Structure 1
Amino acid sequence: MNFAIKINNNLADLGELRLNTGDFPNHWADNTLLISGECQHIKIDFYESVNNKVWIIGDVIPETDNEKNIHQFLSHANFEWLFKTLQGHYRVIVFDKDSRKIIVASSLFGIMPVYYSKKGENVFVSSSPEILAKQMEQTEIDKRFILENVLFYYPLFDNTIFKGIRLLPTHHLLNITGNNISCSRYFNVTNWFCANLIPWKKAANNISDLFIDRVKYYFPEESSEVSLTGGFDGRTLVSCAMYHHKKFKAYSFGRKNSNDTTIAAELANSAGVDFSEIALNKKYVTDQSLQNGLEFIINAGGTAGFARAHYLYAAKLLQADTRYLITGNFGSEIFRAVHNIGAVISPNLHQLFSAGDFDAAVNKVEQSAEFNWINKNSFLNEWEELKEDFKKLPAYDPAYFSLTQNEKFYQYLLEEVFRKYFGAEMVNQSLYLNNRTPFVDTKFLEALYKTGMPGVYSDFMERNPVKRFKGQVIYAHIIKKAYPAFLNKLTDKGYAPADLLTLTGKASIIGGFLSKKLFKKTGSADDSNSVDEAFEYNKPYFERLALNSVLFNKQSVEKALQNGNCYHDFLVAMSQCYYYNHITGML
């Protein structure tokens, strides 16, 4: 569901018009909130007081005091308080009757994006950059967006593909008075970071109790689908669903006999839970992967690549049975010290936070393999601008100098990577159903960050398995209380949650870790989601794709296609090539 507003200097009131379809009119009425008519699973709530009009668009987690809290918000319009009180992923639009001011914001972590721009005497706001560009007749492409995506696998900052159309920064309010725009921060995740921490062993009991209590609100009265894989997050959520006797089914996707599907099926079968295996098999590759991959790119506003087609494909299938997914998104990133470099944390992002010296970091990015996919000479101005903006990152911004290296990294992870990487999946899924994510429940997080459990309090890129135990122990404590039958069943890591609770179990985990280090296999990476196979099958499409040789390095791209390069950086570059063609064709 999309929304759009065109605001002029004569703003006296903000009206509302709900459209019958997903198509927006060619000409928008001034000072009217337009809301598209598709996506009936998404709620639109309207409230009005003497002082304010408030629209909440999205999936608010239902709790007993929600109505009372919203009416309290109507009187004081404290956004930080609202977003910590109302859980879920949604957008809020407020019209202040006294000041004739409009405020637009996204809930904590900014998963549901807000875009804005100004043209002449009008301000434009929408949930979609393409909708804004069409209305504004904006045709100029922002090459900076392409540069950031190719180098970092998603935009590092707030640019979009359209020059002059910006993404609202995380935890900021978009303030509009007449034709004046300003952005103001209402919260910073560093406010949660503490110095005097409760030892994690001492906190485990209370924190696990709190999560089990909080998660019950995320399961609707109707049936939902819980994402269950070979790891800890889904197993923990299913355990809690069993504990609360919720009505649900479980699902997993992957190739036949992959860990995510086989372990998930075994868990579901042992618990008597209805289970759906979404097979990413040959039929998926030949019939579904290309169309879903290209749609995924467009729906994400060009911030994600073809490689994640399976998330959209799964959402389309699951919508037949439910309006709600319950997923483990963000769980591992919060609990465990991030240590893997790849699709989520790109090599170049890692360089910016690990190099220490600014000039050394810039040089490493400039010499990176990712730069080979574009023509550097066509991005000289954009590269100079981007280098200057690197100084705004927590790693180099003096405002964050008091933080540890890992805290600086986690500030960016929580406020930018969450919405740029996982947000792309959730925006795609939101076209068909609501994705509820209990691991970012703010009442749980506020308590968690007072303990030594979260990954933010580890060393930067901690790889020592002994020191990383604490990031998984919380799962074991929750499972032990909620559904202990899952405690001794192996995960895809080769050990069970119960192993995290005993000395002998921990010794076994360390032994397995050392064995992997000593006898590490070489060869191609696991293709459990059929990403490589899908790209290989669809390679003729990408070979026919018109390549803008001014922007992209034609020689490098053609060589990679000939060699069957399926590495993530190349898939991202090809996705950017496709999105550029899509946008210029649209314009």
Structure 2
Amino acid sequence: MAGITGIIALKPDGLVRDTSIFERMIVGIKAEVTQEHSSFYDENVFVSIVSQTRSSPKANFYHDQEYGIICALDGFCFIDEQAAAGFARDESVPKDASTLAKIVHLYRKLGEEVFRHLRGSFNLLIYDAEKRRTILANDRFGFYPMYYAQSAEYLIFSSKLSSIIDSGLIQSPQADLASIVEHLYFGYVISEHSYIRGVCTLPNASVIKVEDCQVAIDKYWKMASEYGRNPLNKKQSIEAVDQGLRAAISRIAQVDEALLCSITGGWDSRVVLSYLLPQARKRLNCYSFGAGDAPDVTIPQLISSKESFRYRPFSLDQTYLDNDFIAAAQDTIRLSSGTRNYKRTHYLYALREMGEYSQHLISGIFGDQVFKAGRPKGNVVLSSAILNPLESNFDLDYLNTDLQSFLKAFLPEHDSKELLSELLNRMASLKDQFSIYASAPERYIAFRFEINLRRYFGNEASSYNDYALCYSPFTDYDFVKTWLITFYAGQLYPFQPATKAMQRNSGTLYATLVKRNYKPLIYYPTARGYTMADTLSFFGSFRILLARLQREKNAHKDAFSTKDTVALFQNMLAQENIKCSFDIGRFKGTNAYDDALSLCYWLAINGLAK
């Protein structure tokens, strides 16, 4: 679903009486005014679910009249095999009961333990009126964001920051400068703070319980619980990864008659496509975007024409830049609560159109993070500013020195002493959180799944979930649990740059999985300049070497056609007279410049720019 928002009373005299607050909060999570919503409120709780643009919220809102229990779901959710088997034997539960009805049944039996039996990407609220108990929880990886703020009277929550601002219950909201520095330094906020002072993000695998006006927050799962099992050998690992991906993709393939699939010239989407074509070819609606002659367009065009499945390219040409880019960029920033910058606009642009065919998107996101071997190089997904602290277990002396230099260079007009103190306190909390891991590889994997996945990829998915819910088999909990005991997860040990042998193992795994599931796909070209089949043959190794040399010689083709977007976005800021409290020009030439421009826009439209 597009979003969830609500208020929980923390005083016996109950909820706010002004229902116009509820209406403002509902508007704050809508991308379009025509979106439908389902709501409930009494003296203790207000909650509303807003549907995607082409669907109804009924499937994600359930009221058990007999027991007085409300269940509201943002995202998508599955019940695990153990619980599903129990329902099959339980005659008191109708065979056609909805997922939410089954969740309520499990809650009545298990209480908060219910969340251990759920899979998917979700924010879920359960309100038990009889016990005056409200529970708000998310999935193990906390994929979709959940923001909350607590006062003496209320706990306010929402999947979009704008809804909390629009409630009017936060007096004189102010920008959180420390969070803005986190974003510009690391690439995104890695603590549990937001861009608004006093508003936090719900950590992954967390439960907020409000009972008798008391608030308790706890975690029901940590990545550390998955470590320490005996690893599989290479042959066993291929079998396990193959079976795990097949099960994950089968789960989502059953949710809708029509499915969206993002395919590119890359390898992750090729793996996903190899599992989908045999079982869902006629139900697929595939797409990609890029410059007209970019591999992310030309390669999917070739494959779809040869293999006869539906595919639509979105050309990021001058017409797009002239007519669609600015509006889509503004909405991307707004709908992601400021977390995604204007250069990520193309996802929303394409999915607004593709949402006509289905609201369920299967993608290959995080596949590269799962299958890539060795210590990664710093990039936009995981910067060197994050990798270095991870390796040193958030060494505060190192961070103190580096953050001081950053503040001096980019924000000299602010009180760096107070700001630095706040930032180091946040890093100290992260140090405590990750101190349970004995090695850099363990910290790295935990950070990837518990923070990086939701803070980078989940925030991106929140920018377009009004049109399509994003599902990736590489972030399916049961698959991840299997992957963690395989040889391929073990390639991260020790935490060092990948050797040639490790790179070969990674490439061979991709090719072997595709060959097993849909062999023709290994022979098509890829964006790397060679085929997957090349990784499986002696002569192919020479073609791989030549392709790598060729890539080093040639300038990278601008697949996203974003060369002109900087000027376009800057012009828009100037025309709308949008200014920031810090000098954005200092960030020119750095990776943070696009984020700084986008944050400036988000702060301005929410009245926080001063």
User: Structure 2 length as normaliser, TM-score?
Assistant: 0.84
Q: Equivalents in 1 of 2:379, 2:439: separation in Å?
A: 23
* Structure 2 residue 5 is matched with structure 1 residue 3: yes
Matched letter for residue 374 of structure 1: L
Q: Which residue of 1 aligns with 2:559?
A: 528
Q: Which residue of 1 aligns with 2:519?
A: 484
Q: Is the 8 A contact 1:547 1:554 kept in 2?
A: no
Q: Residue 387 of structure 1 is aligned with which of 410, 424, 427?
A: 424
State the Cα distance separating 1:430 from its structure 2 match.
Answer: 0.8
State the Cα distance separating 1:101 from its structure 2 match.
Answer: 2.2
Q: Which residue of 2 aligns with 1:552?
A: 582
Q: Residue 59 of structure 1 is aligned with which of 45, 57, 76?
A: 76
Question: Structure 1 residues 72, 532: closer, same or farther in 2, change over 3 A?
Answer: same
Q: Is the 8 A contact 1:121 1:179 kept in 2?
A: no
Deviation readout 1:411-443 (Å, 9 max, x if unpaired): 111111111111122111211122222222222
Give the 5 Å matches for 1:72-87: 73-77=106-110, 82=115, 85-87=117-119
State the Cα distance separating 1:187 from its structure 2 match.
Answer: 0.7
Matched letter for residue 87 of structure 1: R
Q: Residue 572 of structure 2 is aligned with which of 541, 564, 567?
A: 541
Number of residues of Structure 1 aligned to a counterpart in Structure 2: 569
Q: Which residue of 2 aligns with 1:494?
A: 529
Matched letter for residue 3 of structure 1: T
Unmatched segments (≥5 aa) in structure 1: none
State the Cα distance separating 1:71 from its structure 2 match.
Answer: 5.2
Matched letter for residue 297 of structure 2: T
* Structure 2 residue 453 is matched with structure 1 residue 418: yes
Q: Which residue of 2 aligns with 1:226?
A: 261
3-state DSSP of counterpart to 2:429: coil
Q: Is the 8 A contact 1:24 1:36 kept in 2?
A: no
Deviation readout 1:95-122 (Å, 9 max, x if unpaired): 2456422110112211222222222322
Matched letter for residue 54 of structure 1: C
Question: Structure 1 residues 63, 164: closer, same or farther in 2, change over 3 A?
Answer: closer
Q: Which residue of 2 aligns with 1:305?
A: 341
Question: Structure 1 residues 320, 427: closer, same or farther in 2, change over 3 A?
Answer: same
Give the 5 Å matches for 1:348-363: 348-354=385-391, 357-363=395-401
Q: Which residue of 2 aligns with 1:344?
A: 381
Deviation readout 1:509-558 (Å, 9 max, x if unpaired): 45655x36xx83486x5431122321133332244565656x4136626x
State the Cα distance separating 1:360 from its structure 2 match.
Answer: 2.6
Deviation readout 1:385-409 (Å, 9 max, x if unpaired): 112321233xx43863543212212
Q: Equivalents in 2 of 1:97, 1:13: separation in Å?
A: 14
Q: Is the 8 A contact 1:150 1:371 kept in 2?
A: no
Q: Which residue of 2 aligns with 1:579?
A: 602
Q: Is the 8 A contact 1:305 1:571 kept in 2?
A: yes
3-state DSSP of counterpart to 1:462: coil
Deviation readout 1:140-181 (Å, 9 max, x if unpaired): 222122111111221121112221111111111112234432
Q: Equivalents in 2 of 1:309, 1:371: separation in Å?
A: 31
Q: Is the 8 A contact 1:454 1:471 kept in 2?
A: no
Q: Residue 127 of structure 1 is aligned with which of 159, 175, 184?
A: 159
Identity of aligned residues (%): 19
Deviation readout 1:338-372 (Å, 9 max, x if unpaired): 6132211123112322457542344234435x874
Q: Equivalents in 2 of 1:407, 1:376: separation in Å?
A: 39
Q: Equivalents in 2 of 1:306, 1:194: separation in Å?
A: 42
State the Cα distance separating 1:50 from its structure 2 match.
Answer: 4.5
Q: Is the 8 A contact 2:441 2:495 kept in 1?
A: yes
State the Cα distance separating 1:571 from its structure 2 match.
Answer: 0.6
Q: Which residue of 2 aligns with 1:32?
A: 45
Deviation readout 1:12-42 (Å, 9 max, x if unpaired): 999x9997994279xx864233315552535
Unmatched segments (≥5 aa) in structure 2: 30-40, 85-97
* Structure 2 residue 107 is matched with structure 1 residue 108: no
Indicate the larger mover: 312-321 or 455-464: 455-464
Q: Residue 463 of structure 1 is aligned with which of 485, 498, 512?
A: 498
Q: Which residue of 2 aligns with 1:451?
A: 486
Indicate the larger mover: 284-293 or 254-263: 284-293
* Structure 2 residue 354 is matched with structure 1 residue 318: yes
CA RMSD of aligned residues (A): 3.4
User: Structure 1 length as normaliser, TM-score?
Assistant: 0.87
State the Cα distance separating 1:221 from its structure 2 match.
Answer: 3.7
Q: Is the 8 A contact 2:145 2:459 kept in 1?
A: no
Q: Equivalents in 1 of 2:381, 2:448: separation in Å?
A: 10
Matched letter for residue 106 of structure 2: F
Q: Is the 8 A contact 2:6 2:158 kept in 1?
A: yes
Give the 5 Å matches for 1:163-182: 163-182=197-216
Structure 1 residue ranges, 4+ long, deviating more than 6 angstroms after superposition? 11-14, 16-21
Question: Structure 1 residues 457, 191: closer, same or farther in 2, change over 3 A?
Answer: farther
Question: Structure 1 residues 362, 146: closer, same or farther in 2, change over 3 A?
Answer: same
Q: Which residue of 1 aligns with 2:34?
A: none
Q: Residue 235 of structure 1 is aligned with which of 256, 270, 277?
A: 270
Q: Residue 284 of structure 2 is aligned with which of 233, 242, 248?
A: 248
Question: Structure 1 residues 464, 533: closer, same or farther in 2, change over 3 A?
Answer: farther
3-state DSSP of counterpart to 1:92: strand
Q: Is the 8 A contact 2:8 2:155 kept in 1?
A: yes
Question: Structure 1 residues 505, 79: closer, same or farther in 2, change over 3 A?
Answer: farther
* Structure 2 residue 193 is matched with structure 1 residue 191: no
Question: Structure 1 residues 24, 267: closer, same or farther in 2, change over 3 A?
Answer: closer
* Structure 2 residue 585 is matched with structure 1 residue 569: no
State the Cα distance separating 1:253 from its structure 2 match.
Answer: 0.6
Question: Structure 1 residues 34, 293: closer, same or farther in 2, change over 3 A?
Answer: same
Q: Equivalents in 1 of 2:554, 2:418: separation in Å?
A: 41
Q: Which residue of 2 aligns with 1:327?
A: 363
Q: Is the 8 A contact 2:359 2:469 kept in 1?
A: yes
Q: Which residue of 2 aligns with 1:159?
A: 193
Question: Structure 1 residues 325, 371: closer, same or farther in 2, change over 3 A?
Answer: farther
Matched letter for residue 388 of structure 2: Q
Question: Structure 1 residues 275, 61: closer, same or farther in 2, change over 3 A?
Answer: farther
Q: Which residue of 2 aligns with 1:273?
A: 309
